[in-house]
Structure 1
C-alpha cells in the first residue's frame, strides 16, 4: 500500500514523514514554497525523539503521479481547500482502468465534520480520521510534532459508519509509523468530540495562546452553545473520559529540543499569512446546526466572523484582547 498524502502541512507532513521514516511507501503532495523546500532539501521533522532530515518523495499535483490500485489517498488539506483538491484527484486515471474516485480509498484527515460529506459526493470509498496530532508548520520544509511515545492518535473508520478490511490495512501501516490507530465503526463520534475542542481555535488565534480567564470564559460559552446544538440535533460524540483513556500514557505532549511554542491550526494559518482559516467548518458548523434547529449561537457566530476578518485583513494572531473580542458578542 502506498500512502499519497495530499497536503504537506503540519498533519500531512507529520504523517508522511513518519511513514517514510518507518520504511512505508509514502509520497507527499505539496505546492508553492512548501513543495520547493521538500523537493530541494527534504522534510525536516522535529519531535521529542530528535530531529530528522527525511528525503520523502514529493510531487506538486495529481498530474505528476501515476496512481495504482494499491494507493490510498490521505486528504490532509484544510477543509476550505478540500473541494479543489477532491476535484483535482477524483478523475485521475488508475493503472488497470477506472479513476481514483471509482477505485481508491480516500481518508479525510481534517478537523471538523464536513470533509467526509464533500468527499462522498465524489469518491465511492471514504474514510473518516479523527486526528489528535499536536504539530506545527510555520516555515517551508519543517514540521514539528510534540507527542510521545506515539506521535498521535488517529481514530479511523469507514464513512458514514463501519470498519472494513481496507481500514485495518491503512491502520496497520500507520501503526508501524508510530501512530496509535484505533479502527472504529463510529469514527464520526470521535470527530464531533474533536469539533468541541476545536471551537477554541478561533479564540486562541485572535487573542493568543497565553490569553487568560476572559478567553477561557469565551471558550466555555462557545462549547456550551455547541453542546446544546449537538444535543438538539441528536448527534452522539465520544466523551471526555473516552478521549483521556485512549491517549493517557500513550499520546502525551512532551518537550521538543529547540521547538518554539506554536498555537493550534488556526493560529498557525494566521501566522503564515494565510488568507483563509478553517473557522467556517469549526465554529461555523455549530452556527449552521443552530440555525437548522432554531438555537441561537451568538458566541460561535462572533468567533467565526472575527477569525475570518483576521485572515482577510492579514492581522497577526493574538492582536486582539479577549475583552475586545467578548464585547463583540451580542447580548
Structure 2
C-alpha cells in the first residue's frame, strides 16, 4: 500500500515519517514554507529517544499523473481545512480509470467528528481514526512528537461503523511503524470520547496552561450532557486511560515539554484559523439541535474567533473578557 499524507503537520508529519522510515511508500502533502523545507532538507521528526529525518516526495496537490490503484489517502489537516482538501483530491484520476473518490480509501486521522460525514459525501470508502498523538508543529520542516514509548495510539475502523481488510492492513502498517493501532468496529465511539477530551483545547489556547479546573469541567459537562441528549455513545476517561495504559506517555524532547494543544499551536503559528468551531462548535450545534444549553462551549468558540481575528497571541486572551462571554 502507498500512503499519501494530506497535511504534513504535527499528526500527519509524525505518521508520515514513522511509516516512511518503516519502509512504506509515503508521499507528504504540505504547502508554503513547510513544503519548501521538506523538499530542501527533508522532514525532521524529534522524539524523546532521538531525531529522524525522512527524505521523500513532497507535493502541494494531486498533480497530473494518475494515482496508483493501491494508494491510501490519509487526511490529517485541521477540521476547518477538510472541505477544500476533499474537493482537491476527490476527482484526482486513478490508474486504470475512475477517481480517488470512487476507488481509493480515505482515512480521516483528525480531531472532531464532522470530517467523516463530510468525507462520505464525496468518497465511497471512508475510514475513521481516533488520534491520541501528542505532537507539535511550529517550525517549517520540523515536527516534535512527545509520545513514549510509542508515538501515538490510532484506533481505526470504517465509517460509520464496522471494519474491513483495509482497516487491518493500515493498522498492520501503523503497528510496524511503531504506533499502537487497534481496529475498532465502534471507532466513532472513541472519536466522540476524544471530542470531549479536546473541548479544553480552546481554553488552553486562550488562557495558557493555567486554566481554572472549574472551566475545564464545565465545557466537558456540557459536552457529556449534549451527547446524552443526542443518544450518542462515547468512551469515558477511565476506559481511555485503561486503553492507553503506559503505551503512550508524555516525555520531554530536547529537555522541553510539549508546548500546547493543536488549537494552541494554530494560534501560536498565526495560522489564521483554529478548529474550535469543529470541537466546541460541535457541542454548541448538538446542544441547539437537542435543546441543551451550552454557554461555556459557545464562549470558547466566540473567544477563539476573536483571538484569530485580532491576532491575540496564544495564552494571552484577557480573562475578564472570557468571563464576560461566559456570563
TM range (shorter): over 0.9
| TM-score, length basis structure 2 | 0.97
Distance 1:35 1:97 in 2: 29
In 2: Cα distance, 1:64 partner to 1:148 partner: 40
Alpha-carbon deviation of 1:115? 0.2
Q: Quick check: 1:309 aligned with 2:306? A: yes
Is 1:110–2:107 an aligned residue pair?
no
Are 2:173 and 1:185 equivalent residues in the alignment?
no
Moved >3 Å (runs of 4+): 258-261, 321-324
Change (3 A) 1:295 1:92: same
Q: 1:194 — aligned with what?
A: 194
SS at match of 1:45: strand
SS in 2 for 1:11: helix
Post-superposition offset of 1:32 = 0.7
Q: Distance in 2 between matches of 1:65 and 1:58?
A: 15
Q: For 1:296, which of 293, 297, 301 is the aligned residue?
A: 293
Deviation at 1:241, TM superposition (A): 2.0
- Whole-angstrom CA distance in 1 between matches of 2:251 and 2:257: 13
Aligned equivalents of 1:244, 1:56: Cα separation in 2? 36
Residue aligned with 1:274, SS? coil
8 Å contact 2:128–2:157 — kept in the other structure?
yes
Tell me the TM-score normalised to structure 1 length.
0.96
Give SS of 1:130's match: strand
Query: Residue 43 and residue 259 in structure 1: after superposition, are their counterparts in 2 closer, same or farther (change >3 A)?
Result: farther
Question: What is residue 322 of structure 2 aligned with on the other side?
Answer: 325
Q: 261, 264, 267: which is aligned to 1:267?
A: 264
Q: What SS does the aligned partner of 2:63 have?
A: helix
1:62-89 Cα offsets, whole Å, 9 max, x none, are 1166411110000000111101000110
CA deviation after TM superposition for structure 1 residue 301, in Å: 0.5
- C-alpha distance in 1 between matches for 2:184 and 2:235: 12
Give the Cα separation in 2 of the matches to 1:234 and 1:217: 25
Deviates more, 1:123-132 or 1:43-52: 43-52
Contact 2:114 2:278 in 1 (8 A): yes
Query: Which residue is equivalent to 1:241?
Result: 238
CA contact (8 A) 1:222 1:299 kept: yes
> Structure 1: how far apart are the matches of 2:129 and 2:34?
24
Aligned counterpart, 2:43:
43
Q: Deviations over 1:25-45 (max 9, x none)?
A: 111000111100100010111
State how far apart, in whole Å, the 2-side matches of 1:322 and 1:223 are.
Answer: 19
Query: Given the alignment of the two structures, is residue 28 of structure 1 paired with residue 54 of structure 2, yes or no?
Result: no
Q: How far is 1:322 from its partner?
A: 4.0
Q: Using a 3 Å threshold, how does the CA distance of structure 1 residues 140 and 64 change in structure 2: closer, same or farther?
A: farther
Rounded Cα–Cα distance in structure 2 between residues aligned with 1:82 and 1:318: 26
CA RMSD, 1 decimal: 1.2
State the match for 2:6 in structure 1: 6
Measured against aligned partners, the alpha-carbon deviations of 1:226-248 in whole angstroms (never above 9, x if no partner) come to: 11110000000012222111111
Task: Please name the residue that 1:69 is paired with.
Answer: 69
1:276 corresponds to: 273
1:229 aligned residue? 226
- Counterpart residue number, 1:167: 167
Structure 1 stretches of 5 or more lacking a match?
A: none
Distance change (3 Å), C-alpha of 1:65 and 1:308: farther
Residue number in structure 1 paired with 2:149: 149
Once the two structures are overlaid, the 10-residue window that deviates more, 10-19 or 240-249, is 240-249
Assess if the C-alpha contact under 8 Å between 1:127 and 1:159 holds in 2.
yes
Which blocks of at least 5 consecutive residues in structure 2 are unaligned? none
1:224 alignment partner, SS class: helix
Higher mean C-alpha deviation, range 317-326 or range 55-64: 317-326
Which secondary structure state, in structure 2, belongs to the residue aligned with residue 3 of structure 1?
Answer: strand
> Which whole-Å CA distance do the structure 1 matches of 2:47 and 2:293 have between them?
42
Q: What residue is the counterpart of 1:255 in the other structure?
A: 252
